[in-house]
Each structure stands twice: as structure tokens, then as C-alpha cells.
Structure 1
């Protein structure tokens, strides 16, 4: 895609305007600053910031992610001695997908014990991840914290964490999913596993919230719906939640996984109330 020139009061505003125009997020573009802009003196001689922006070229994602998950699953199988339980997908929830829309959860079987000690949960996590990172030749510190009996936070730290995050967090999501399978094998009670590194989850959430508000503003001005890029269920919920109380626009999910995406549109029913 060719570069386009976009301006704003400053570089940040110019970049935001570009993201709205290209209907994408900051991690999917590359840009060059042509003019940083200046406020001038008492409003005189003011110059706008100008940047050249274009979308990054996308490479096939589905096959790559599948390959990564397959390689990582081999490590999971070799790390734990018991047989894996095939996961059943949880149906997505359209229109404000506020309910849990996570990828999959393990089946429950009555022949296993319900409660697993925290020590065993931590051992499964550190053994699986440790073996996986060793196979990847990565030096990673694994910090396991128990928020409550049903939720475990796993913080990864070390050099080259960008490799573990991957494109739009897809590698990190795969690691989280496989770790969840390993921990919940042989358990009646499901334990939620959250894997993060370098505060990526919060940074991505803030980016998506900002994008949602910018797209809503564009929809109000153009009165035309805007389709966002394909997102996983967690990220779609962020968009839905950010705009659910907006007085003029609504959101809905369209398409099939892995291309399911959010559409932001002008809600005539809401408009009639105000």
C-alpha cells in the first residue's frame, strides 16, 4: 500500500487521524514524520504536524499460528504425563459480547478430584512453560501469582519478549490457551489462566478503547458503518464494552472465526431517544 500524508496539531493527533482514515490500529501501520509541527508564538506562525503513513503488509496468519500452536503442543504433551482432554468451544455472544467468549475450556470429568493444590498448579505451569522456552532457546522468568482459587496470573519477563507477544498478541494468546489446557487436565473445576508480559494486555486494551472512540466519532460524522479488523473474542468485547453506553452508535459482531470482526454503526433507535 502507498503512503498517505496526514496532518494534525501534533504527531500524536496526526497518527490518530491516520488510524481513523485507514480504519486500523497503531500496531498495523508504519509512518515517517515529515513535519513535527509547532505552536508558534501567540498563535502566529503555527505549523501542523505532517506524517506519511501506510498499512504494514500482512502475511498469512492462520497457518503461522497453527504451526506455532502445533510446535508448542508437542512440548505440552512431553511435559505432562497424563492424556489431554479435548476442549469444547464456547459459543460467541453477538451484540455486546459481555459474556465469556474465551476460545475453549476443558471438559469436566467426574473421575478426577475437584480441588488441586496451588503448588501443583504452579508446578504444571512452570514445568510446561519452562520446557517450551528451553526448546525455543529463550531465557524467560516465570512469575506465578494466585489472585483467587479460580484465577492465576502468569507474568513472563526477560529479553526478546516481543517474540512471545507476536502479531497483535496472537502468540501470547496461544501460549495462554495451551497453558490453560495443561493446568486444567484432570480437573473438575476450571481455573482461569492469564498470561502476560511487559503489561501488553493493558496496553492493547488502551489502544482498542482509543480506536473504538475514534471510530465512533467517524461514524457519527459520516453516518456510515465502519468494520474493524478481525479480532479475538476478548478484544471484540473491549470494543463492545467501550461503546455500549454511547448515545448514538451501537456495535455488532459479524463473520466467522478467525475473521470475525466488530461493526460500529449509527443506531437510529438510540438517536430517536435523544
Structure 2
């Protein structure tokens, strides 16, 4: 059982007990790796079982008996006879058995950040490529999204495919406008909720994108045009311009549209999921320095 055996159950305690019972061993005799703690899902959908991988601990080498010290037989200088001296007892140390260690599930990063100063994507840490979701997982996502739309009162046709490390979910039907909402806010909220619902089916390193009626492509085109127009205004009058309330993918569209223009810079500011993008002339969009100048005067902020 070098590779270990997988066990599934309702929760971690139950599945460990099941493994000990099936393997006929105590918990301290097993190496237990927790792969998933399980979850009850959202709205009862996409429930996830607890998952562990168990290996028997390798048996350590048998303790070797301590070698006896040779007897020392000095010669009595008066009689010339050898004297027998018994060896001193050798103390042995018994190694304490260490308790079994249950490894915690690895915490993986959930999002890819963009460079706030330049708008360029930060190079991700090199990792092993993630296995694509199975056909069964994609079908489960399609069914969950379809049921969610039914509960919202917007029954629609749903198509789910996996391309470029992204699960693309496309909605078509008579309710596209309501599903998209003002400036895509309803669609963004629905995408966030779906991501949480299918967390058991889609690893964090695989992205999920939700679209309805081709809204994402139209929105990206509009943002690129607006970014270029504002960039021309900034170069003409030097005043900083802003595009408010953009989600991460929309902010990336703006940054990419302006990255080749040496006359302007862009960066994201704000808190939370939705931030605004500032477009400014080089040297005017820097954050104020935390250091104070001589004489107690702080650095000035310009451009915002």
C-alpha cells in the first residue's frame, strides 16, 4: 500500500474510523493525509464528501541487542594470575513512538492579481498543470446553473465547455437582458455565486467565466474604446481620468488596452471586488510617500 488507499465519508472523524476498521490498525499506526474536509454545498447542491488517503507506517528496524563489552583480564603482579572483571551494564534508550500526524489540505491561491502600477499581469508561480474537470463535473455545473436560473424565474439554455484553463458557461434564451442586468452587475453576481457552488467540482486554479448573449465581448470592446478616448483627454489636458466600478477582468481589459501607450499610465484603486481604474500622465499617479520631508512637511500628492 505504498501509494496509499483513499477513503470517503460524511466527515473526517467518520472516514478515519472507517479506515482504521477496514485496515485493522490503530490510528497511531497509519499515516493519514486529509485531501478534502467535505462540505454540505449551497442550496443542497454539489455536496462534497470528506476524502483522506491512508498508508501504513513503514515498520522500523528491529532494535539490535547491545554488544557486550569484552572482558578485561588484567594480570595480578604478585600472583601472576589473571583477574576477571565483569563488564559494566550498557544502558539502552527506548525510542518514544511519535503520534500519527494528519496533514492539513494545501491552501492554494484563489485569484491572479494584476500589477496595480503598470496594469500588466503578474507572472504566476510555476506549478504543475491542473487536470481539466471531467465530463461528469462539467455536466454537474451545467445542471446546477440551469437549476439556479429556474429558481430565479429565468429558464434558459446553458452550454459549458473547458478551454484555456477556464470553464466557460454560456447562457442563451429569452431572459438574457435580465440575467446580465445593469452594466453586467447581475451577471457578475451570478458568476460569483456559481463559483462558490461548484467549488467541489472546479479547483481554485481553474477559472470560471459566465456570459449571456455575448455581453462579455461587447463590454470588453466598449471598455477598450472608452479607455483610449480618456487616454487622449489625459494627454491633451494632463488631468487624471477614471473608469469606476470595474471587476478584475474588466480592469485587465483597460490595462491591456493602454499598456503600449507611453504617454499615459493606468492603475487600479479602491477596496473590494469592484475598483476604479485611474488613467494619468507618467509621474502624476504615484502614491504619496509615507516619509516626511525635513521640517515636518509631508510629500505632496498630485494627479488624483
Which category of TM-score, normalised to the shorter sequence, fits these structures?
0.5 to 0.7
Q: Which one has the largest radius of gyration?
A: 2
Q: Is the contact made by 2:46 and 2:198 (CA closer than 8 Å) also made in structure 1?
A: no
Distance 1:247 1:128, change over 3 A: same
Q: Which moved more, 1:202-211 or 1:256-265?
A: 256-265
Matched, 1:167 2:167: no
Partner of 2:243: 228
Q: How many residues align?
A: 183
Q: Is the contact made by 2:172 and 2:213 (CA closer than 8 Å) also made in structure 1?
A: yes
Scaled by the length of structure 1, the TM-score of the pair is 0.58
Partner of 1:216: 231
1:187: Cα distance to partner? Answer: 5.8
Out of 120, 126, 133, which is 1:98 matched to? 120
1:171: Cα distance to partner? Answer: 1.7
Partner of 2:45: 79
Distance 1:192 1:174, change over 3 A: same
How does 1:49-68 map onto structure 2 within 5 Å?
none
Q: Tell me which of the two structures has the higher relative contact order, counting C-alpha pairs closer than 8 angstroms and 6 or more residues apart.
A: 1
1:134: Cα distance to partner? Answer: 1.5
How does 1:135-150 map onto structure 2 within 5 Å?
135-147=151-163, 150=165
Unaligned runs of at least 5 residues, structure 1? 1-73, 102-113, 270-274
Out of 165, 184, 194, which is 2:209 matched to? 194
**RMSD, aligned α-carbons:** 3.2
Task: Map Cα deviations across residues 9-51 of structure 1 (whole Å, 9 max, x no partner).
Answer: xxxxxxxxxxxxxxxxxxxxxxxxxxxxxxxxxxxxxxxxxxx
1:143: Cα distance to partner? Answer: 1.1
Unaligned runs of at least 5 residues, structure 2? 1-39, 51-104, 124-129, 285-304
SS of aligned partner of 2:44: helix
Q: Which moved more, 1:165-174 or 1:205-214?
A: 165-174
SS of aligned partner of 1:134: helix
- In 2, the alpha carbon distance for the partners of 1:259 and 1:154 equals 21
Partner of 1:181: 196
Distance 1:83 1:181, change over 3 A: farther
Q: Is the contact made by 2:248 and 2:273 (CA closer than 8 Å) also made in structure 1?
A: no
1:186: Cα distance to partner? Answer: 6.1
